[in-house]
Amino acid sequence: MTAHQLSGIEYQRMISGELYLPSDPELTAARARARSLEFRFNHTPPEQAGERTAILRDLFGSTGDSLEIEPTLHVDYGLNIHIGNRFYANANCVMLDVAEIRIGDDTMLAPGVQLLTATHPVDPVARTSGRELGYPITIGRRVWLGGGVIVGPGVTIGNDVVVGSGAVVIKDLPDGVVAVGNPARVVRSI
């Protein structure tokens, strides 16, 4: 299954940043597929690195020439994740991809990084309707996200950026900066 094979109205709403029903049968099946691949990846022995890579290439929408991710990994769909060349993610990475996640070349994620495109309506009536929404995350080239960094929905991080451990990124970051804190703020240029 690829993103091109998903064509239902709820999928189209989901990737367009509109309210959608996650209980839609097509979306439920796509999440089940992702859980199965995720389970296989997370339980493949370290000496079978080639098998791990093959699983990731099947899970993600697209990948570059080399990628390495340490278990455990958690995704919503996988199909909406697009990773550049020479990517590395350490243990306990979460990528909730109800919207696209695009990651540039030579980017590294430390342990416990969370890329969260998913969100819920602020209005309590809308929130309890069962509908959700999401906004894409874009991460540039040569980016390093420190341990436990959280990137929120709709954020773009420029090229050559370092985000310090524990930061919560809720606003875009320009190229060539170091950002720290909650919420993340630029502390210097590189």
CA quadruple 46, 90, 31, 7: dihedral, nearest 10: -110
CB-based contact 174:158 (threshold 8 Å): yes
CB-based contact 118:142 (threshold 8 Å): no
Cis ω for the linkage preceding 44 (within 30 of 0): no
Strands 185-189 and 137-139: unpaired
- Report the distance separating Cα 173 and Cα 154, nearest Å: 12
- Report the distance separating Cα 151 and Cα 182, nearest Å: 11
- Report the distance separating Cα 160 and Cα 17, nearest Å: 27
- Report the distance separating Cα 65 and Cα 127, nearest Å: 40
How many residues make up the chain in this entry?
190
CB-based contact 171:136 (threshold 8 Å): no
Asked if 120 is an active-site residue, the reply is yes
Q: Which residues are designated catalytic? A: 120
